[in-house]
Structure 1
């Protein structure tokens, strides 16, 4: 699978980022409490492949429970286009629907039972791409 440079942003465009990855990403649908409320669907990317281009000063962080996950939001429009997941704190989870342009060809989805987070992590931790 060929690697491409993807670009993404929040709704208002204040927060912009890029990463290098395949045209077809592995995605995760999670049902933990916060993902369920947000209808979160994400793709985990290795941190060294991800870079914030603009708006780092416009990012607000939300943490809860263990405080490991860092949920990042644009302070202007409120869109979460990426975050640092508890399952992979040294990675970044991007929201594929926030990728701009047509570099993303498809997402292969898997399900993560976040309601039983520890049990699910013992079975298989989501891997960064």
Structure 2
């Protein structure tokens, strides 16, 4: 199943997870920091290369109340192949209001 994520400025999110249970994976430019639960492998959030001062949150990791609020935001599918073009377009858009 593909990752479905939403971006937040890093200071706007409180992750309710014990840091000791997080493992980190970096590849390529080593800019993006992908976090995983060291016990179950869940990928709850990551620091994206496109926005290294923010967090992308896996919407499947949100509780039902938070997930319900996602209906208010614009969802833009991304094929993963045209990364540079996608980053250019999302950098032009203002972030959603929390």
Q: Aligning the two structures, in what range does the TM-score lie when normalised by the shorter sequence?
A: 0.7 to 0.9
Q: Aligned residue for 2:40?
A: 77
Indicate how the Cα distance of structure 1 residues 64 and 108 shifts in structure 2: closer, same or farther if over 3 A, else same: same
Runs of 4+ in 1 over 3 A off after TM superposition: 126-129
**Unmatched runs of 5 consecutive residues or more in structure 1:** 1-37
> Per-residue deviation at 1:39?
0.8
Indicate how the Cα distance of structure 1 residues 63 and 127 shifts in structure 2: closer, same or farther if over 3 A, else same: farther
Question: Which protein has the bigger helix share?
Answer: 2
The one of 62, 87, 92 aligned to 1:121: 87
Question: Which protein has the bigger strand share?
Answer: 1
The one of 67, 86, 90 aligned to 2:53: 90
Q: Aligned residue for 2:4?
A: 41
> Per-residue deviation at 1:67?
0.8
**Unmatched runs of 5 consecutive residues or more in structure 2:** none
Deviation digits for residues 64-94 of structure 1, max 9, x if unmatched? 1111111100000100011111111110011
The 1-side partners of 2:13 and 2:63 are apart by: 15
Question: Relative to structure 2, which stretch is displaced further, 46-55 or 66-75?
Answer: 46-55
* Aligned length in residues: 92
Contact 1:71 1:82 in 2 (8 A): yes
> Per-residue deviation at 1:123?
3.7
The 1-side partners of 2:89 and 2:41 are apart by: 33
Deviation digits for residues 15-62 of structure 1, max 9, x if unmatched? xxxxxxxxxxxxxxxxxxxxxxx6111000111111233310111111
> Per-residue deviation at 1:127?
5.3
The 2-side partners of 1:76 and 1:120 are apart by: 32
> Per-residue deviation at 1:97?
1.5
